[in-house]
Amino acid sequence: MDLHFTSEQKAFQLEVQEWIAKNLERPFTEEVKDPKHDADSLVEVRRNWQRKLNDAGYLGQRWPVEWGGRGATEVDEAILLSELARADAPNIPNFLGIPLLGPALIIHGSEEQRRRFIPKMLSADEIWCQGFSEPGAGSDLASLRTKAEPDGDDFRITGQKVWTTFGPWADWIFVLARTDEEDRHGGISFFLVPIDQEGVDMRGLKQVTGEAEFGEVFFDGALAKREHLVGKLGEGWRIAMTLLGFERGSSTLLNPADYERQLRGLASGLRENGEIDRPDVAERLGWLAVQNEVMRGNGLRTLANIDAGMPPGPESSIEKIFWSEFHQTMTDEALDLLGPQGQLKATSSHARPDVDWAYQYLWSRAGTIYSGSSEIQRNIIAKRVLRMPTAK
């Protein structure tokens, strides 16, 4: 197995690095520290950055050229995402629409749906959020209870979705809703629903970080037009599995690149504090760096397999556990090593300028829960990777 980039991939990596250097005015951490910004203006920073990426042709890497993509590989997309993370570039606001919904529409959507939604998705003129999880249907998504009932040629949706990331700023939401009570998986359909309408109540959820980036949404007879049904009735589960499959490989190098940037910030802070040469500090930093390199190596192995025609399987659960638990360990160490300085908010004049460690610490607590909890991931590894027998 060759874990090195090809000459073409190295050239693309260099191209991306040069483009970012010319177009990124300042790291996003500095935008957050700027007192002129609030939550809404930071969304506009992210929207403008997405438009720059789109104008440069960097969005939808693996999409067909006719839909604004480059027809590139998953490795190319992984390179792009890792370089953006390393530069601390803003996360695009359509971080759910472009990597998830876009491919689903290209594969399963109608020509009319693709022409209607994809251009505005790429340009950030319309922001999308995801309506999958429910209070009683998270890891066991197939137990969802939100209903879509016929109303003439259209449908009326009733129910609740939760953990709706970026919901408070979204224009549209892609929703899994039950259209058949008798069929657990085959009774689920996939709808595109406008949020600005009667019957949709989007509420922000205050997080421990102080943000309200999540939302919960209540549907009370919200209109979903027949023309906005993706695929056929009952194909929602299959479409959702296609959609989720697109988030596995391209993110393999993103977390190691982001954590490498944070570790460099930690080392810089300890150097300024005169503690970098303490043997115990060097040992702890070295251990974190080694663990991050292990993660990066595993990501390269995953990409090498994808390049060889082997799509990610249940082994991706190993990576999910590794990065989420490592992030918690790293932020624990950072706050312990930096002391009170590491606990300051980014807006404090005395806070570290390169990493908002207080935010990272609080945000990392959720990593072992969202996208499948560590307990669920360990069950997947036990059953589908190790083939361990089920206890009776």
Q: 247, 275, 315, 325: which is the annotated catalytic residue?
A: 247
Q: How far apart are CA 193 and CA 62, in angstroms?
A: 25
285: left (phi over 0), alpha (psi -120 to 50) or beta: alpha
**Inter-CA distances, 319 with 61, 74, 83, 263, 298, Å:** 23, 17, 19, 19, 8
Tell me whether residue 275 is one of the annotated catalytic residues. Answer: no
Scan for tokens 């601390």, then name that residue: 88
Burial class (CB in 10 A: 0-12, 13-18, 19+), 11: exposed
Diameter of the chain measured on Cα atoms = 73
Residues 306, 75 contacting (CB under 8 angstroms):
yes
Compute CA 109 distance to the chain's CA centroid, rounded to the nearest angstrom: 22
Q: How far apart are CA 287 and CA 303, in angstroms?
A: 25
What is residue 100's DSSP assignment? I
Catalytic residue numbers read 247
